[in-house]
């Protein structure tokens, strides 16, 4: 049984650049309703307008931001069918330890 992606709601974090943006564009080609979640809201909005999608600001390092973005998406677009987590979190490097 084949499943179509047509009209599915796809939420992509980190969707305003890199691999996330490539995913957004591919899902849009398949006829999906894309929601671009990114900390760079201006870039996400530009891509969303181009692809007739939606954009929401999200900071994946903040649980409150994630929850707010999902609530916004489900309230404004509908229930999310596909989630792509492409955003990264920059943190301080871990200290190196020598074993011995």
Query: Cα separation of 43 and 65, whole Å?
Result: 18
Average pLDDT, the chain: 92
Three-point CA angle 11, 46, 79, nearest 5°: 20
Residue for token pair 């891509």? 47
C-beta separation of 38 from 16 below 8 A: yes
Query: Cα separation of 37 and 71, whole Å?
Result: 12
CATH number of 9-85: 3.40.50.720
pTM, two decimal places? 0.86
Instruction: Give 33-55 pLDDT, tens digit per residue.
Output: 999 999 999 999 999 999 999 99
Whether pLDDT at 68 is above 70? yes
């Amino acid at each position: 049984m084949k499943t179509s992606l047509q009209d599915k709601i796809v939420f992509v974090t980190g969707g305003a650049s890199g691999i996330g943006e490539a995913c957004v564009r591919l899902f849009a080609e398949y006829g999906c309703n894309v929601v671009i979640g990114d900390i760079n809201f201006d870039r996400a909005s530009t891509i969303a307008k181009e692809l007739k999608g939606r954009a929401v600001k999200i900071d994946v390092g903040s649980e409150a931001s994630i929850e707010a973005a999902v609530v916004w998406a489900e309230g404004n677009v509908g229930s999310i069918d596909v989630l792509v987590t492409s955003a990264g979190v920059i943190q301080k490097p871990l200290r190196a330890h020598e074993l011995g």
